[in-house]
Amino acid sequence: MPVVATEERGGVSGDERQWAMLAHLSALLGYIVTSGWAGSAGGFLGPLIVWMMKKDTMPFVDQQAKEALNFSITICIAFATLWMFGIMTLGIGFLIALPLMLVVGLYALVYTIIASMKAYEGVPYRYPIALRPIK
C-alpha cells in the first residue's frame, strides 16, 4: 500500500512532516551551496523562507522551521567568530580556528540530518546546542 502524503504520524500530517523536513534540509543545502562562505550565512535562508511561508498554517512546521533557523544562526555566529579570531591574530589563530571550523561543520551536518529525520517521523526536535533568538 503506497504512503499517502496526508497520512498522520504522531498527530502530524504528512504535508507538515515534509515541510518540516524541508526546513532542516534547506539549511544543509545552504551550507553546501555557500561552501562555508561567510560563516555559512546561506544556511538560514531556506528555513527562513519555509517558516515565513508556513508559520500561520502549519504549527509543526512553524516550530521546526524556527528551530532550524535558530540552529543556522548559531552556526553562522560560530563561523563568524572563528573567522574574526583568525583575522585578529594576523592569521596565526587560523591554526586553531580552521580545525574548529571543521568540527562545527561536521556538528552542523550530523545534527541537521538527525533533525530532518525526526521531523519526517513527526517528532519535534531541538538541537542540543543552539541559541534561540527566534521565539
Residue 125, in any domain of the structure: no
Average pLDDT in the 105-115 region?
A: 93
Q: What is the pLDDT of residue 10?
A: 63
Residue 31, in any domain of the structure: yes
Residue 134, in any domain of the structure: no
How many other C-beta atoms can be found within 10 angstroms of the C-beta atom of residue 9?
14
How many separate domains does the chain show?
Answer: 1
Task: Give the helix ranges, DSSP H, for 1-135.
Answer: 14-34, 45-54, 59-88, 94-121
Instruction: Compute CA 45 distance to the chain's CA centroid, rounded to the nearest angstrom.
Output: 10
Residue 91, in any domain of the structure: yes
Residue 1, in any domain of the structure: no
Q: What is the pLDDT of residue 22?
A: 94
Residue 7, in any domain of the structure: no
The pTM score is 0.84
**Residue 60's domain spans which residues?**
14-120
Residue 4, in any domain of the structure: no
Return mean pLDDT, the chain: 86
Q: Helix axis angle, 45-54 relative to 59-88, nearest 10°?
A: 160
Residue 3, in any domain of the structure: no
Average pLDDT in the 79-93 region?
A: 92
